[in-house]
Amino acid sequence: MREPGLGERISRARRIGTTFTRIYMGVRVNRFLAKRVAPADMSERWSRFHRESAESIYEAAVELRGLILKGCQFLGSRADVLPPEYVEVLSALQDRVPPKPFKTVREMVEAELGRPLDAVFSSFEREPIASASLAQVHRATTLDGRVVAVKVQYPEIARLVRSDLSNLRLLFRTVARVERDFDLMPLVDELAEAVPLELDFVNEGRNAERVAGFFEERDDVTTPRIHWDLSSERLLVMELVEGIKVSDAEALTGAEIDPNDVSRVLVEAYCEQILVRGFFHADPHPGNLLVQAAADGPRLVFLDFGLAKELPPDFRAGVVAFAVALLKGDATAMATAMVDLGFETRDGRVSSLAELAEFILATAQRIRSQAHLDPELAERLRHEIPDRIRENPVVRIPSHLVLIARVIGLLSGLTRTLGTRIDLVQAILPFVLPRPPSPPPDPPREAAL
C-alpha cells in the first residue's frame, strides 16, 4: 500500500496555499472597493465573489480528498461562520466522493485481516455501496453466511490527515497575525479533535454499541451489530442493515410508512441522546439515517458513528437555564446562560450577547404564535440566525453546540422535505422537564403462617 511521499505532501500544501491565497487576496480587493469606491452593486459583487471562491474550494476538495474534503464538508454546515454561498456550494460535497479502485480496497482488507479475501468472505462486491472522505463501504458475505457491510479506511489517509493539519495550522496562524477578524484556527482545532477519532474504527464501533444501549427497550430505533472478530482500527465489519433513506418521502409513502411517525421517532431519538444521555450521533445527514417498515410503525436505523459527541456534564443544566429564561422572556438571563454554555465574545462581556439573545427571544415569540413552524419562516430563519451570529462579536461557539445545530437543521429540513407537521416544543418538553423519581418497590409480603 502506497504511503504519500514528500513530493505529494508538498504538492498538496501548494494546492491548499494557492487556493486560500487567491481567496484571501480577493477578500482584500473587495474590502478596498467597498471602503474606497463603494459601488452600488457591492453586495452583488460580494455574493459573486463568495460563490466563485466556494467553487474553487469545492474543486480543490474533490481533487485532494482526505482531510481537506472532510473539512470542507464540515464547513458546509457552518452557517455561523461562512456566508451562505459557501454553505450552499460546500454542502454538496456530502454526495461527491469518488471511490477508490477495488485493488486498493482488497489490499487494505487483506492487510488488516492477515488473510486472503476469499479466506474470510464467500462474496465481496467490487463496487462500494457508499464512499466518503475517509473510507468506503462494500457489501460482503462471510464464509459462515453473515451478510455484512465492510467499511474500509483508505490506506494513506492517516498520514495525509497529519500532513494537511500541519499545513492548515501554519497557513491560518500566518493569516491570523495579519487579520484578527479572519481567524479560522478554532475550526482547525475542531478538525484536529474530531478527525483522528473518525479514523479509529474501534472507537466508532464502541460509539454504535453505546447508542444502541440507549434504545434497548425500544423497537423503533436500532443500529447495526458490530462483528468484532473481523474488525480493527482501520476495518469495521458490521451487520448490513437496509432501509429507505429518511429523506425519501415518496419511498416512505410507497412503503405505507407515515412520515409524521418518522419525524416523531427521529426527534425523540435525538432528545434521548442529547438531553438525557449526554452523548449523541453527530453526523446526521440523510445518508446516515434509514427507515424500515415494521408491524407497529417505522423503525429508525442510525448508521456511521465515526462522529459522535460527549456533552459536558453541566450541559443539560445550561440548556434548562436557557429554556427557563426564554420562557420568562428574560434576554439578560438568556445571555448569561449562553456564556455558561460556552459562547465566547471578543470582549468577554455578557452584555455583548444581549442583542443576539433578544433576537432569539423575538424569534421564539414569532414561532410560538403559530401552531406549527411555518416552512417559509423556518427557511428565512435558517439564513437570518447565522447572519446575526456573524454580525455579533461572537468569536467561539462550542463544537458540541455546532453539532447540535446540525441536528436541529436536519430536523427542520426533514420536516419540510417530508411535509410533516410536528410540534417540536411539545416533543422536546418531556425530555427537558425533570423526570419524576421511580416509585419505591412494593414491600415484601409476609409469608402466610
- Spatial distance between the Cα atoms of 202 and 283, rounded to a whole number of angstroms: 17
- Spatial distance between the Cα atoms of 68 and 93, rounded to a whole number of angstroms: 11
Cα dist from 290 to 118, 300, 315, 422, whole Å: 30, 6, 29, 19
| Strand pairing category for 297-302 and 147-153 | unpaired
Contact, 60 vs 51, CB < 8 A? no
Grid coordinates standing for 45?
459583487
- Spatial distance between the Cα atoms of 389 and 126, rounded to a whole number of angstroms: 46
144 secondary structure, DSSP code:
T
Q: Positive or negative CA dihedral for 394, 400, 404, 407?
A: positive
**Is 283 an annotated catalytic residue?**
yes
Cα dist from 264 to 4, 23, 269, 420, 433, whole Å: 46, 43, 9, 9, 18
- Spatial distance between the Cα atoms of 105 and 79, rounded to a whole number of angstroms: 35
225 half-sphere exposure, CB direction, 13 A CA radius: 7
Grid coordinates standing for 304?
456511521
Contact, 197 vs 274, CB < 8 A? no
Grid coordinates standing for 165?
493539519
Grid coordinates standing for 152?
474500509
343 SS3 class = coil
Grid coordinates standing for 140?
460482503
DSSP-assigned beta bridge partners for residue 226 = 238
Residue 139: other Cβ atoms inside 10 A: 17
- Spatial distance between the Cα atoms of 380 and 412, rounded to a whole number of angstroms: 12
**Alpha helices, DSSP H, located in 306-423:** 315-328, 331-341, 354-368, 375-391, 399-418
The identity of residue 256, as a single letter, is: E
Burial class (CB in 10 A: 0-12, 13-18, 19+), 417: middle
The one catalytic residue among 283, 296, 304, 330 = 283
Give the dihedral of Cα atoms 318, 323, 324, 330; nearest 10 deg.
Answer: 100
Which sequence positions are flagged as catalytic? 283
